[in-house]
Structure formats: C-alpha cells, structure tokens
Amino acid sequence: MDNKLLTYLAEHRDEHIEQLKNLIRIPSVSALSKHKDDMHACSQWMADSLTKAGLEKVEVMQTPGHPIIYGEWLHAEGKPTILVYGHYDVQPAEPLELWNSDPFEPETRGDKLYARGATDDKGQLFIHVKAVEAWLQTYGTLPVNIKFCIEGEEEITSPNLAPFIEQYQDKLSADIVLISDGPIIAEGQPSIEYGLRGMAGCEIKVQASNTDLHSGLFGGGVPNAIHALSDILSSFHNANGAVAIDGFYDGIAPFTEQEREASSKLPINEDQIRQGLGLSSLYGEEGYSYYERTTSRPTVEVTSVTGGFQGEGIKPIIPSKASAKIACRLVPPQVPSDILDKLEAHVIKVCPVGVTVTVDKLLRGNPYITPIDHPAIQAASEAYEYTYSKPALYTRGGGSIPIVEVFSRVLGAAVVLMGFGLPDENLHAPNEHFDLRNFDKGIVTTCKYWENIASLKA
C-alpha cells in the first residue's frame, strides 16, 4: 500500500465525516414502528452510498421485516471474496434526558463523535464503504472481491437474517465474512475476537397440587412445587462448580497451547473484577481461570425463578406451581438442541416424586470459533499491527451473536470480527460516541486487510 491512498483519505476526511453525520441523522430505530419510514430512508441512503463508492448490482432487498442492502464488486479474478456484514439500524435513544446533545444530531467534541449509532454500527460500517471508495478512486480496482450485506434488524435479534442467508447463499458466497461491530480491548491496543459462545434457553415449570394449599392444613402431607424446583435447580452443578448434567461437556477441547499463550497476554485482573462486582470471591468451575470460565467453558445459569405468593408478607401456603428460566452458554462442539435435550433428561431424572415437570425449549444459538492460526485471522492481525504499531491480542467472547455461526456454517466462510470501537463508547446507552481516530485507522486497516487477503490463495 502506498501513500496515494493515505493522501486520498486525508484530503477527503472532512467530506467522509460529513457523510457519516448525514447517515447518523436518520433515526433508524428498528424496534419502534414510528420509525418505519426512517428505516426505509436509511436503507436507501446506504444503497446510494454503496453505489457512489463504486459497488455494483446494489439492491435494497425486502424481507418480512426491514430491508437488507446488497452490493458487490467481483472483478478481482482468482482472488478471495470478502463479505462485509454490518447493520444500519440503531437502538432507541431513550432516556433522552441523559444525553448531553441530541442523539440524532451528531456533535464532534475533540476526537469523538457523539450520536446514537456512532460506534454501533454506522461509524464502523461506514469504514468499509469508504475503504472501497478510497481504493477504487485511487487505483481504479480492488485487490479482492467484495460483497456487502447490510441488515436493519440487528438490534432486534436479526429475525429475518438467517433465512435470508439460507435463501441467498449463492449470492452471498464468500471466503471470509468481515464484521466491524464491536470494540478492540483497549485504546491503542488492537484485538481480535476469534470465538463466541452459543446459547440455549428454556423454562422449567413444576406443577404440584391443582391449587395452592393452606400450609397449616396440608403442611407436611403434600409435595411443594418450590421444594421440587429447588432440588432440580440445585442439581445442575456439583460441589466444585461444574455442570452435573450427563454428557454436557462431551467433546469440548481445553485451550490449545496457542490459546493459552494468547490469553496470558490479556490485561485481566481478577481481583479488580471481583472488587468491581462487590463480591467476596469469584466463583465457578474448579481448574479454570476466570477468563477461561467466562469465554471457553459452557455454563448453565438460572436467570429467573418464581413461585408461591408474590405479595407483601408471608402467606403461609404450599405453592402448587413454580418455574425457572435457564440460559446456557455453549462452546464448540456443543449443539443447542442436543444440550436442551440433555438438560430436559436431567430434569426429568432428578424431579422428585409427586410433582410433574415440563421443559419449554425457547432459545438456540450455535457457538462459533475461528482458530487463531487461520490465515484470515492472521491477515487481520497483521493489518492491525500495520496501523496500530502493536501486535493484536486474541480474545474469545463469552456472549453470543448467533448470526456469526450462521454465516460461517451456511456460507462455509471464516468469520473475522475486526472491531474499531472502544469498550467505553456507551453503545446502547446515552452519549454513545465513536473515536474518529479509529474511524481513520479503521479505513487504513481495512484497506491493508484486503491487500493481505489478496496475497492468499482464493
């Protein structure tokens, strides 16, 4: 990469930021029906922007929900194809009174641009649009084939994206899916999230007698739904904090040597985390560090429980019903439906006599991992080091973005999560902002990434 591109970017910086502000000014809140017209306006704006950047066959594609925008540039014969995924929808801006400026009138203060969507995800998505434009304007061609798939429902759990990917898997086919929709680990310290946990969720309902009973008249004589539920919930973990469901850990590999080395470089201070949470001690599966437990080990967490009389004071009843909701986080090779089946079998096995129990299986999302030594990850690492002058760190995320696994599985592509946000940029919260120095670095890093990928075999 030569100075021509950097010069072009410097000369057009103000113009790019003005364009980004115009994108942000469209209040594309996917969750609120009053913004339906804004969603359409925003999808059209994005499509125009892709066309202006030099992408071809740009299309606003309808779904049962908000539209998805597609565009491509496929003239790098024999070179890999990168599919850029991002989203043009944003979270609601409320509570408005906590913002220091209008959430939909972006304001630059120092290096930071304040507005809803600045870092999540308009600012980060626009990096890729401007990277395409800069490269084409400078060289008249791209070093790789590029596709864009930009959805408008990420903030409402992407209900229509997975079917869209299935339906258009030929159109979307790519070697790499590139996503800039998150933070690097710290200011000036690039990092790559190479894995995400999956999710499985269910509700457990216990039914004892056909009505709540007087604890004086019936106490001691009949089953109590809360007792039964407590026994069930208490049976999920053994004394050393491990999950006690048969087969739960089947096939799970420990950290590779490479992962262990990568994680040792992460700035994690368990004592600081503990203090910040107001805990006397952290807790979890014996034999694993806090970082391993929260990223590379699967979990079963009870997220809510309810049963009996919920009013003030003690109403001395024997409750007939009790229920709990469970959220599991999964790691490869766990499969949500299999884990839910095992959890159900366990619940049925340990359920005390006299009550009936049902398990409603509600949530499923596959875990995902791209090995650190995958060429697409290593190319990203080198691109980061080029702009940030520091080697990238490698992290696994404990949370779940189910669509990542869908992209990987359906398209057979490696997913690369190349974030340019910072951890404290208030995404989903008032005073969201984006550091424009990372906007600048992001465009250069992306351009460099394409160059790196171009040198790989397609």
- Tell me which stretch binds a second copy (CB under 8 A): 7-15, 67-75, 194-202, 444-452: 194-202
Q: Which of 141, 167, 238, 304 binds a second copy (CB under 8 A)?
A: 304
d(CA 168, CA 410): 10
Among 153, 343, 126, CA closest to 248: 343
Q: Which of 159, 188, 399, 423 binds a second copy (CB under 8 A)?
A: 399
Handedness of CA 152, 155, 159, 163 (dihedral sign): positive
Q: Count interface residues toward a second copy (CB under 8 A).
A: 79
- Tell me which stretch binds a second copy (CB under 8 A): 27-35, 136-144, 318-326, 369-377: 318-326
Cis before 333 (ω within 30): yes
**Binding track over 199-238 against a second copy, x by CB under 8 A:** x-x-x----xxxx-xxxxxxxxxxxx-xx-xxx-xxxxx-
Is 362 a residue that touches a second copy (CB under 8 A)? yes
Residues 71-110 within binding reach of a second copy (CB under 8 A): none
Q: Which of 13, 205, 325, 409 binds a second copy (CB under 8 A)?
A: 325
d(CA 314, CA 180): 52
Contact 277, 332 (CB under 8 A): no
Is 267 a residue that touches a second copy (CB under 8 A)? no
- Tell me which stretch binds a second copy (CB under 8 A): 124-132, 173-181, 245-253, 395-403: 395-403
Taking the least distance from each CB to a second copy, the nearer of 38 and 405 is 405
Q: Which of 400, 438, 445, 446 binds a second copy (CB under 8 A)?
A: 400
Taking the least distance from each CB to a second copy, the nearer of 242 and 456 is 242
- What count of residues does the chain have? 458
DSSP, residue by residue, 52-113 = HHT-EEEEEE--SSS-EEEEEE---TTS-EEEEEEE--B-----GGG-SS-TTS-EEETTEE
Residues 270-289 within binding reach of a second copy (CB under 8 A): 273, 277-285
Residues 108-147 within binding reach of a second copy (CB under 8 A): none
d(CA 147, CA 86): 11
- Angle (CA) 326 327 330, round 5°: 135
23 token code pair:
């994108």
Is 429 a residue that touches a second copy (CB under 8 A)? no
